[in-house]
């Protein structure tokens, strides 16, 4: 089994419900188990498109899938939850990003690991720090990366610890 970390987000419809549905779908797959899930955070919109704030979280999964197979599963789950990819960095019902896969480096047409922009994104690192503060990204822990980022506007939502099982 490989330990992988996922970033989750959404900003249209009911993002908490969509992220919960996505996590339950991943957990239901016989090759993947959700091991830990961060709290949910409200984060400022990011990207060139004007849009509402996001809700973000991170998850740790254990999987017997290879990295590109896990990516394919995540994309399939996104599609089942009506993810529209017509606008890059645009509004979305749900987004699943493969951030880290067993600490491996990979560069293919479909996938780059670790996620190439995660160390620069507070909306990723704040929830990731809740479940993997010492995870090494580019040789530096998540906590260390987070110290250099602007976290203003990121607010923890008051949800149950098992929000993804009940939402």
Strands 106-107 and 112-113: antiparallel
Out of 29, 92, 104, 147, the active site residue is: 92
| DSSP H/E element including 68 | helix 67-80
Report d(CA 60, CA 80) in Å as an integer. 21
Out of 27, 29, 97, 130, the active site residue is: 97
- Nearest residue to 128 (alpha-carbon basis) of 111, 149, 143: 143
Out of 95, 100, 120, 147, the active site residue is: 95
95 an active-site residue?
yes
Listing DSSP states for 94-108 in one string gives -EEEEEEETT--EE-
83 an active-site residue?
yes
Please state at what angle helix 67-80 crosses helix 15-28, rounded to 10 degrees. Answer: 130
92 an active-site residue?
yes
Residues 6+ apart with CB under 8 A from 3: 35, 60, 61, 62, 102
Token code pair at residue 156:
């923890």
- Nearest residue to 96 (alpha-carbon basis) of 157, 31, 164: 164
Q: Give the catalytic positions in this structure.
A: 83, 92, 95, 97
């Amino acid at each position: 089994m490989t330990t992988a970390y996922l970033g989750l987000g959404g900003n249209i419809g009911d993002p908490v419900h969509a992220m919960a549905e996505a996590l339950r779908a991943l957990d239901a797959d016989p090759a993947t188990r959700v091991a830990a899930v961060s709290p949910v955070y409200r984060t400022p919109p990011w990207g060139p498109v004007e849009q509402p704030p996001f809700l973000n979280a991170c998850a740790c999964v254990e999987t017997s899938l290879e990295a590109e197979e896990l990516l394919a599963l995540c994309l399939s789950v996104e599609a089942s939850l009506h993810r529209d990819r017509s606008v890059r960095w645009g509004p979305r019902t749900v987004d699943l990003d493969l951030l880290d896969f067993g600490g491996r480096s990979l560069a293919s047409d479909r996938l780059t690991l670790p996620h190439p922009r995660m160390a620069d994104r507070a909306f990723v690192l704040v929830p990731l720090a809740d479940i993997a503060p010492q995870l090494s990204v580019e040789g530096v822990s998540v906590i260390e990366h987070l110290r250099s980022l602007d976290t203003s506007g990121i607010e923890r939502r008051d949800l149950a610890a098992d929000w993804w099982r009940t939402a």
